[in-house]
Amino acid sequence: MLYRNYLHKVIIMPICNVCGEEEEIVTKCKTCGTNFCEYCGDVEAKQCIECFGGSDEDGDDDWL
């Protein structure tokens, strides 16, 4: 059991597959299925930054 009391809490945080950080909320990309945090894609569109950014892969981040 991964269940502990609050003094020794074990919380399984979802991990953003884009930035690798643990986040409280991640969204699953509807295109590629990766989990991303609110900083790594468009949560409302349910697309990670890679899919939302379209085809440019040269590191431009002018997608906003």
Please give the residue ranges that form the binding site for Zn ion (CB under 5 A).
16, 18-19, 29, 31-32, 37, 40, 48, 51
Q: Please tell me the distance from the alpha carbon of residue 28 to that of residue 33, in angstroms, as a whole number.
A: 6
- Choice between 10 and 27, CB closer to Zn ion: 27
- Choice between 14 and 31, CB closer to Zn ion: 31
CA 30 to chain CA mean position, Å: 12
Tokens of 13: 């945080």
In the three-class reduction of DSSP (H, G, I as helix; E, B as strand; rest coil), residue 32 is classed as coil
Q: How near is the Cβ of 2 to Zn ion at its closest, in Å?
A: 24
- Choice between 32 and 45, CB closer to Zn ion: 32
